[in-house]
Amino acid sequence: MDGSPSKMSPRLRARLAILDEAKRKWDHARALVEQATARKSGVFRDGSGALGEWNPERQLRKVTDQIRSVANDVANLLAEQPFTELGEEVRELVMLARGIPSRTTLYRMHELVNTVYRSFELAEKQLRRKDEEDSLR
**Gap between the Cα atoms of 94 and 76, Å rounded:** 11
Name which residue leads in pLDDT, 114 or 135: 114
Confidence bin at 58 (pLDDT 50/70/90): confident
For 120, the 3-state DSSP assignment is helix
Confidence bin at 6 (pLDDT 50/70/90): low
pLDDT at 52: 39
Is pLDDT of 91 > 70? yes
* Among candidate residues 106, 105, 122, 136, the one with its CA nearest the CA of residue 1: 136
pLDDT at 135: 83
- In the predicted model, what is the mean pLDDT of residues 40-61? 62
CA angle 123, 126, 127 (to 5 degrees): 85
